[in-house]
Amino acid sequence: MQFLKTLFWIVLTVILVLWAKANWAVVPLKLWGGLIADVRLPLLIVFGFLIGWLPTLIIYRAKLWSLRRRFEPIERNAAPSVPAMAVAPAPTTVSNAADERVARDSEAWPTATP
C-alpha cells in the first residue's frame, strides 16, 4: 500500500511540473494605485491555493486542539490506575487410572523449530 501512495505522489508531482512548464507565462496582475506586477501563472495559482487552504487548515487544527483539551481529563480519569496482572490458570489434573495425567498446553501444541 505504501508503494501505491508513493507512486501516486510521484505521478501527481510529474503532472504538476509538466503543467507548470507548459504554462510558464507572465501574467500582468493589476494592483492598487496603477501598479502592475508581472507574475508567472503557476506561482499565481499556487499562492491562490495557499490563500484559500491556510485558513481552513488553521481552523481544523484549532478544533483538534480544542477537542484534545476537552477529552484529556476524561481519558485520564477513565484509565485504570493500576493494570490488573494476568494470573496463569493451574494445570488441570485428569485421573484415568492409577497414574495421573497433567494437561499442559505447551506440550499439546508444540512450537515450530527453525
Query: What pLDDT does 100 receive?
Result: 58
* Integer angstrom CA distances of residue 13 from 8, 16, 29, 54, 108: 9, 5, 27, 21, 57
**What's the average model confidence in pLDDT over 9-18?**
96
Non-local CB neighbours of 31 within 8 Å, separated by 6+ positions: 37
Question: What letters, b where the CB count within 10 A reaches 16 and e where it falls short, cover 5-25?
Answer: eeeeeeeeeeeeeeeeeeeee
Query: What pLDDT does 114 receive?
Result: 55
Query: What pLDDT does 73 receive?
Result: 84
The two beta strands, 92-95 and 100-103, are: antiparallel
Could you report the per-residue pLDDT of 47-65, keeping only the tens digit for each? 999 999 999 999 999 999 9
Arithmetic mean of pLDDT over the chain: 83
43: cell is 506561482
Give the pLDDT band (50/70/90) at residue 8: very high
Query: What pLDDT does 94 receive?
Result: 59
**What's the average model confidence in pLDDT over 81-108?**
62
